[in-house]
């Protein structure tokens, strides 16, 4: 099971300061947290292609922590770990804790990685989406995870494509608060990403599945990926 935790930086903190602290001091603390089997940081880049702006909503986070766990119950039990209070205290040094926390528990499915080189992780796009009020959870999940997405991402030049759908809300969050899925796509570079979006606008639109997605309440995070716990 995979947990997404989008993080907005603390007010008065630059993106560079936020990224440095998160990737150094905080990352070392997380390494000691044995309940996490894998940990990846996706750190926001300053700019993103125009195609990933409106009608998508504003990108309100500055990075996303992605952690893997044995099962859903292991996430719910994290608060009982002796290290948990230290982790939460450290977050106050670089994260805006006043902002709503949109934790998302998911199951992930690899759709494609035909040309992905893990040594050159390039640029990563995470599409955080909320389903349309007119779509049921089943209709959304079926459309979000189907194999057609792999064809669209290849046309865009993406080298890897992972799709994740929610498996339950985090305790204390209502269904209206959270996101319903995340699509993760990798490109060799920012120019490659921009060229793919400009060349194939229909393929880019198809990846959002506008028939089941509330596009205005969804957003794109363009990031550099750093693997902390392999």
The domain segmentation of the chain, as residue ranges, is 2-229
pLDDT at res. 33: 87
pTM: 0.94
pLDDT score for 176: 56
SS3 content of the chain, % helix, strand, coil (to 5): 30, 30, 40
Q: What does the pLDDT look like over 70-91, one tens digit per residue? A: 888 888 888 888 999 999 999 9
Q: pLDDT at position 209, please?
A: 86
pLDDT at 204: 94
Give the per-residue pLDDT at 169.
59
Report yes or no: 41 and 225 within 8 Å, Cβ to Cβ. Answer: yes
Inter-residue contact 61 to 44 (CB < 8 Å): yes
Low-confidence spans in the chain with pLDDT less than 70: 169-176
Note the helical H segments in the chain: 15-21, 27-31, 72-76, 84-91, 137-144, 148-155, 190-199, 201-207
Residue-wise pLDDT for 118-161, tens only, equals: 999 999 999 999 999 999 989 999 999 999 999 999 999 999 99
Please name the fold of domain 2-229. Answer: Alpha-Beta Plaits (3.30.70)
């Amino acid at each position: 099971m995979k947990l997404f935790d989008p993080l907005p930086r603390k007010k008065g903190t630059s993106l560079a300061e936020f990224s440095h602290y998160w990737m150094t001091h905080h990352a070392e603390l997380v390494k000691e947290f044995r309940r996490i089997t894998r940990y990846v940081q996706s750190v926001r880049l300053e700019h993103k292609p125009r195609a990933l702006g409106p009608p998508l909503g504003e990108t309100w986070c500055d990075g996303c922590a992605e952690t893997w766990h044995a099962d859903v119950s292991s996430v719910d039990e994290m608060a009982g770990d002796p290290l948990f209070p230290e982790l939460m205290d450290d977050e106050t040094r670089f994260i805006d804790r006043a902002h709503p926390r949109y934790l998302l528990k998911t199951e992930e499915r690899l759709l494609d990685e035909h040309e992905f080189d893990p040594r050159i992780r390039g640029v990563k796009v995470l599409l955080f989406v909320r389903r349309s009020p007119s779509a049921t959870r089943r209709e959304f999940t079926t459309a979000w995870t189907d194999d057609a997405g792999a064809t669209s991402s290849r046309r865009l030049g993406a080298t890897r494509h992972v799709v994740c759908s929610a498996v339950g809300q985090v305790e204390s969050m209502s269904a209206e608060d959270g996101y319903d899925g995340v699509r993760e796509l990798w490109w060799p570079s920012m120019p490659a990403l921009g060229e793919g979006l400009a060349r194939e606008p229909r393929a880019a639109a198809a990846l959002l599945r506008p028939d089941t997605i509330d596009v205005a309440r969804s957003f794109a995070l363009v990031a550099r990926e750093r693997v902390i716990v392999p």
